[in-house]
């Protein structure tokens, strides 16, 4: 059936949890592209045949006309599916640009296609360049602040650092009060956790 | 720390607005712009002077806090000031962030709609241009270059399409919750053909289609919540 593979491709994306990526399906993707090429060959041969017979494709509605139409529609549908697959994955990749720094964790990186990795890099740079134009870091402060200080536990040895209001020795398992804005970068890197309650 | 007078959001309507105008601080204005931006499906006018003022105020406050700390001011006072800074910073960051995310989502639509394009700040336009390049490059490389000749556009399904039928657009007929800031009579809120105008008094809250109240949000007569 025409368009079946493209449908599977989109289905695969919608079945994955939102915001999560499954591995890029190279195989199926290539098959859909092959489908498209096949459609266009058949479409062209039908159009040629119609031309040779001298029938006008605006007025003549014969089997060839509808055949050509079917191939065109199948092609367009495949294209929509391919684009939807790519675009929706690209949106997830976009979101990664907000939460991870320029280097992707391995477990995410291996799920991306080559072009997607490129896209992540270039889009992250675009985002970073906006932030440096404005001299404002938009990657912190994701939740509305309640208290300027939060209680955190250090999960990984960080060492002596100068924070905005104090210099602190962040040894492993130390529990301390830090400025929320200072702590956020470490929390997003997984080096600290916030203690609540 | 003057109270704001933003011509963009407060119309030239009447003198009785003056009272509310001078008692409105930039923090309130920022909060309102942030909320509107957050709730509206499409991108709104960038509040450039408001953002500019807010940033100056934050800087001023930060200097004040530093001074307090050096003078050994009461820690509670310092912490209250700090909290104020943090909150304003959050509003500002979140405001800018929501706008960027809208640009990410609707970049092609914003680019080809002049009315939306002019709503972006200079930096946002730059961001949008680069985002579009990135996305185009990515789609070209992975999908479009592999498709047959007449199907290569990222805006149209094929060369036969008369309009750009592959561009994501914001859903303008989505419902939003809105509160009016003054009396608004005879709003045409229903496009079903039935004559059913709505009278809204100041402070009334309604859930309406964004499309039908769009001009009122843009002129600042109605707030989204």
Query: Is A144 a member of any domain?
Result: no
Based on the fold, state whether residues A125 and A170 are members of the same structural domain.
Answer: no
Q: Is B134 on the interface with A (CB under 8 A)?
A: yes
> Cβ separation of B166 and A80 shorter than 8 Å?
yes
Q: What is the pLDDT of residue A152?
A: 87
Per CATH, which fold does B171-225 belong to?
Ribosomal Protein L9; domain 1 (3.40.5)
Residue A168 phi, psi dihedral angles, 5° rounding: -135, 155
Vertex B85, ends B80 and B87: CA angle to 5°? 95
List the beta bridge partners of residue A152.
A176, A194
* Tens-place pLDDT, residues A14-46: 888 777 788 888 889 888 888 888 888 888 888
Contact B148 A87 (CB under 8 A): no
Domain match, A49 and A105 both: yes
**CB atoms < 10 A from the CB of A120, how many?**
24
Listed by start position, the domains of chain B span: 17-168, 171-225
Token pair for B175? 């419902």
Mapped onto helix, strand or coil, the DSSP state of residue B61 is helix
DSSP one-letter string for B167-183: -----TTSEEEEEESS-
Contact A119 B83 (CB under 8 A): no
Residues of A in contact with B128 (CB under 8 A): none
Q: Is A186 contained in some domain? A: yes
**Cβ contact B83–A94 (<8 Å):** no
pLDDT tens track for B79-103: 888 888 888 888 999 999 999 999 9
pLDDT at B8: 42
Residues A38 and A95 in one domain: yes
pLDDT band at residue B9 using 50, 70 and 90 as cut-offs: very low
Residues A121 and A156 in one domain: no
pLDDT tens figures, A119-161: 999 999 999 999 998 888 887 777 777 776 788 888 888 888 8
Q: Does A121 map to a domain?
A: yes
For residues B67 and A60, give the distance between their C-alpha atoms in angstroms, rounded to a whole number: 85
Give residue A12's domain range: 4-134
Residues A126 and B135: beta-carbon distance below 8 Å: no
With 0-12 / 13-18 / 19 or more C-beta atoms within 10 angstroms meaning exposed / middle / buried, residue B72 is: exposed
Determine if the pTM surpasses 0.95. no
Dump pLDDT digits (tens) for A79-127. 888 888 999 899 888 888 887 777 788 888 888 888 999 999 999 999 9
One domain for residues A154 and A129: no
Q: Are residues A160 and A93 in the same domain?
A: no
Q: Return the C-alpha torsion angle A137, A139, A144, A148, nearest 10.
A: -60
What is the pLDDT at residue B13? 46
- The answer on pLDDT for A48 being more than 70 is yes
Cβ-based contacts of A31 with chain B (< 8 Å): none
Residue A143 lies in a domain: no
List all residues 6 or more positions away from A4 whose beta carbon is below 8 Å from its beta carbon.
none
**Per-chain mean pLDDT for chain B:** 82
pLDDT, average across residues B57-73: 88
Asked whether residue A89 is assigned to any structural domain, the reply reads yes
- Which pLDDT band, with edges at 50, 70 and 90, does A62 fall under? confident
In a domain, residue A158? The reply is yes
Higher pLDDT, A3 or B58: B58
Claim to verify: residue A94 and residue A188 sit in the same structural domain:
no
> Does residue B70 carry a pLDDT above 80?
yes
Distances (CA, A) of B141 to A33, A115, A118, A139, A145: 13, 7, 10, 29, 42
Residue A141 within any structural domain of the chain: no
Residues A43 and A92 in one domain: yes
Q: Which CATH number goes with the domain that contains A63?
A: 1.20.58.1030
State whether A70 and A167 are in the same domain: no
Q: What secondary structure does DSSP assign to A19-87, as a single string?
A: T--PPP-HHHHHHHHHHHHHHHHHHHHHHHHHHHTT--TTT--SHHHHHHHHHHHHHHHHHHHHHHHHH
B175-180 and B222-224 beta bridge pairing: antiparallel
Q: Total structural domains in chain A?
A: 2
User: In this structure, are residues B166 and B143 in contact, taking their beta carbons and an 8 Å threshold?
Assistant: no
Q: Are residues A128 and A154 in the same domain?
A: no
Q: How many CB atoms lie within 10 A of CB B207?
A: 8
Same domain, A26 and A122: yes
**Taking all residues of chain A, what is their mean pLDDT, rounded to a whole number?**
83
Q: What is the pLDDT of residue A18?
A: 76
pLDDT at A2: 77
Report the residue from A40, A82, A94 with minimal CB separation from B143: A82
Count, residues in chain A: 197
**β-pair partners for B206:** B178
Same domain, A36 and A75: yes
B127 interaction partners in chain A (CB closer than 8 Å): 126-127, 129-130
Q: Is residue A140 part of a domain?
A: no
Fold entry, domain B17-168: Methane Monooxygenase Hydroxylase; Chain G, domain 1 (1.20.58)
Backbone angles phi, psi at A152, to 5 degrees: -130, 155
Boundary (domain end) residue, out of A108, A134, A160: A134
């Amino acid at each position: 059936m025409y368009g079946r593979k493209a449908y599977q491709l989109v289905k695969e994306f919608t079945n994955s949890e939102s915001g999560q990526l499954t591995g890029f399906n190279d195989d199926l993707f290539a098959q859909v592209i092959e489908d498209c090429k096949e459609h266009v060959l058949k479409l062209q041969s039908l159009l040629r045949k119609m031309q040779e017979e001298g029938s006008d494709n605006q007025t003549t509605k014969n089997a060839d006309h509808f055949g050509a139409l079917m191939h065109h529609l199948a092609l367009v549908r495949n294209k929509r599916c391919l684009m939807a697959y790519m675009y929706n994955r690209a949106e997830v990749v976009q979101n990664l640009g907000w939460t991870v720094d320029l280097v992707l964790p391995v477990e995410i990186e291996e799920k991306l296609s080559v072009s997607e990795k490129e896209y992540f890099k270039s889009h992250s740079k675009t985002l970073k360049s906006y932030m440096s134009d404005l001299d404002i870091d938009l990657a912190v402060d994701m939740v509305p602040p309640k208290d300027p200080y939060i209680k955190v536990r250090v999960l990984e040895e960080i060492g002596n650092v100068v924070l905005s209001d104090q210099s602190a020795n962040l040894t492993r398992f130390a529990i301390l009060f830090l400025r929320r804005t200072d702590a956020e970068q470490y929390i997003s890197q997984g080096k600290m956790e916030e203690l609540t309650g | 720390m003057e109270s704001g007078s933003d011509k963009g959001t407060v119309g030239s309507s009447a003198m009785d607005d003056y009272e509310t105008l001078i008692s409105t601080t930039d923090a309130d204005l920022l909060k309102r712009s942030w909320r509107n931006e957050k709730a509206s499906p499409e991108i709104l006018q960038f509040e450039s002077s408001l953002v500019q003022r807010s940033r100056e105020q934050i800087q001023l406050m930060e200097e004040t806090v530093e001074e307090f700390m050096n003078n050994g001011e009461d820690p509670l006072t310092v912490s209250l000031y700090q909290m104020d800074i943090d909150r304003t910073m959050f509003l500002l960051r979140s405001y800018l962030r929501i706008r960027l995310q809208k640009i990410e989502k609707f970049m092609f639509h914003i680019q080809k709609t002049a009315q939306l394009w002019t709503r972006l700040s200079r930096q946002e336009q730059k961001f949008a241009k680069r985002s579009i390049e990135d996305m185009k490059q990515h789609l070209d490389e992975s999908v479009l270059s592999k498709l047959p000749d007449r199907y290569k556009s990222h805006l149209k399904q094929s060369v036969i399409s008369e309009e750009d039928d592959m561009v994501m657009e914001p859903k303008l007929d989505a419902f939003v919750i809105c509160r009016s800031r003054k009396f608004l009579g005879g709003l045409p809120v229903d496009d079903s053909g039935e004559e059913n105008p709505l009278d809204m008094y100041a402070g009334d809250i309604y859930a309406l289609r964004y499309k039908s109240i769009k001009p009122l949000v843009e002129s600042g007569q109605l707030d989204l919540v």
